Structure 1
Amino acid sequence: MTKKKKAALLISSLALIAVIVLGGTLAYFTSQDDATNVFTLGKVSGDLTETTKEDTVDGHKVKPGTATDEGIEYEKVMPGDWLSKEPRVSLKADSEDAYVRVKLEVDVLEGTLNDGQKAEIISANCLNFGEKWVVSGDYIYYQDVLTTKSNGSSQTDPVFTIVKIPGKSWDNEAASAKFTIKVTADLIQADNFTPVKTDNVITGWGDVEIKK
């Protein structure tokens, strides 16, 4: 891509939360008297939020975006730009303890990005994944359990803080591309659930099905 060719890239997020919710009341009535035992099930729920700020990292200027109802937008992005984008997942106050994972997807709105470019933009080549996040397959797994208890944290570290737009490795076909980075977060109860681990690192959730 020539230096004269400006890239009009738009990066935003759709902050979607998929949660497991166990709600309702189960009641057991004895046949001997009118005593009632009521069991209220807990639930797992959370939020995905994003922040952006102007910064300098390793001598490189990091550009902020503009927060919108749908995420964070960036305009007049140039090849080689570093963009500030910090997605975090947090538990709601009434949630039970939970494990967290996220999935990243690129959706091209205008212009052209090939499959290799779309895969690169959500890889470690362009994203500085946090130390507590581990990429495994289609997901990035958080290694700590979120909790609303005082002895732990109810919010994750940022999944990443910087999006590095490739430079000369992208040709002119990508110059007018507009795309979103969609961040989808899944939460699952920590109690009575054991994630898949490899060398003591969470790398999967088995065959569990996540429902909204």
Structure 2
Amino acid sequence: MSKKRMQISATLLGILLSAGTFASAYPVFAAQSEVSVENNVDIGNINISLEKHGLDEKGEKTDFDDAQVVVPGQVVDELVDIFNLANDAWVRMKVTFDDSTIDGNMLDDSLLNLGDDWVKCGDYYYYTKPVKHGEAAEFLKSVSIPAEWTEALSEKDQKINFTADAVQEKNFTPNFKSDDPWFGTVIEQSVTDAYTVPVTSNNPFSVAYEGGAAGLVKVGDDFFSNWGTLMPGDVVSGKVTISNKYAQSVKIYFRTDTIADDNLLQKLHLKIACDGQTLYDGSMAGEITNKVLLGDFAQGSSKDLTYTLTVPAELDNQYAMNKTKTKWIFTAELPETPNKTVATGDSSLPSAFAGLSISLGAAGIIMLSASTKRRKGNEEN
């Protein structure tokens, strides 16, 4: 019986000694968090309509009767307005007279009673104020029929033709003292009647590392949304504040992803910088495929990611109401905790193993001592 107990005691000591040589490995933490933002670009539109009305007996607008018969000396209520259906615009009007059925040049500008704020330059009348979306420029109030016209002109047709043009108000300043206030701008036919009211704002954007389950947290779903719709020649800028609110330092990286495939994306120019260092400068169709380190952020530190978007001035009507987008991805990484191996005699032995060694050691000594006493007892007997 005593021999068996000695074997058990030896086994326990063997466990005790081998426990002292176990290596203890701490887990390696490389915590990551990622957040993405889709940034959208919308191009505006220029579109107008030309409307003509008459006045009824109550002085209210009514449909104009193009076939009405007039008499010499009559003032014909003919109201011609240019309505702006899209983005703010400058407008102009060209007037031509069709008197082919009348002998001699009987029609000219002197017949026209114009609205305010129009100036004649060359072949056009230019409105000297920009016309806002939904508003109108009143061009013509009435037409005065010459009193000297005689019965010889009865049954003759007399026509006045109106042609209106518009050009964007943003990034364009006419020179009304020039013979060509619009500098030879080529007028194109509007390609769409669609229009979205531009909504600009001044919302702050940020990406912050908060740690825990939250990880990276963004404020703002579209970092381009403050701009509203853009027009040719626009140069707009914005910023995103990158920060660390966590107790431990964290590395934050940045990359982009091209998620659209259109001609507009190729035309736009984008520059991105952080802390004075340019990260990207080129077509918006390009991308930062390899993540770029924005910095190693200590608790409470921050940096500004700045960006500038340029819409080329030569962008023409085919891009009206076009849309495109790009994707930005932010990644946060906590520092890795290195592996740690603990061998026998290491003063940094985990307390759990130290406690286990002491307990097992005491148990082994007690059992050996008890066995010795039993053996001595047997000898005495």
Q: Which bin holds the TM-score, normalised by the shorter protein?
A: 0.5 to 0.7
**Displacement of 1:74:** 4.3
TM-score with structure 1 length normalisation?
0.62
* Equivalent of 1:190 in 169, 194, 204: 169
1: distance between equivalents of 2:56 and 2:118?
A: 23
CA contact (8 A) 1:66 1:73 kept: no
Q: Which amino acid aligns with 2:70?
A: V
2: distance between equivalents of 1:190 and 1:42?
A: 12
Mapping 1:25-36, distance limit 5 Å: none
2: distance between equivalents of 1:55 and 1:137?
A: 37
2: distance between equivalents of 1:113 and 1:180?
A: 14
Q: Encode CA deviations 1:177-205: one digit per residue, 9 max, x unaligned.
A: 2122111110100111121222xx99621
Q: 3-state SS of the aligned residue for 2:143?
A: strand
Could you say which residue in structure 2 is the equivalent of 1:49? 51
> Within the alignment, does 1:105 sit opposite 2:103 as a pair?
no
Could you say which residue in structure 1 is the equivalent of 2:147? 167
Structure 1, unmatched stretches of 5+, are: 1-33, 57-61
**Displacement of 1:102:** 0.7
Root-mean-square deviation (CA, aligned residues, Å) is: 3.2
Mapping 1:174-185, distance limit 5 Å: 174-185=153-164
Q: Encode CA deviations 1:94-121: one digit per residue, 9 max, x unaligned.
A: x111001011112247x3243x323x2x
Could you say which residue in structure 2 is the equivalent of 1:204? 181
1: distance between equivalents of 2:49 and 2:132?
A: 13
1: distance between equivalents of 2:180 and 2:57?
A: 32
1: distance between equivalents of 2:165 and 2:176?
A: 17
Name the structure, 1 or 2, with higher relative contact order (CA <8 Å, separation 6+).
1
Higher strand proportion (structure 1 or 2): 1
* Equivalent of 1:90 in 83, 91, 101: 83
TM-score with structure 2 length normalisation?
0.36
1: distance between equivalents of 2:158 and 2:61?
A: 14
**Displacement of 1:83:** 0.3
**Displacement of 1:65:** 10
The number of residue pairs the alignment matches comes to 154
CA contact (8 A) 1:135 1:203 kept: no
Q: Encode CA deviations 1:107-162: one digit per residue, 9 max, x unaligned.
A: 247x3243x323x2xx1x211111211122211111111113xxxx7211x21211
> Within the alignment, does 1:117 sit opposite 2:110 as a pair?
no
Q: Which amino acid aligns with 2:73?
A: G
Q: Percent identity?
A: 25
1: distance between equivalents of 2:44 and 2:61?
A: 37
Q: Which amino acid aligns with 1:102?
A: M
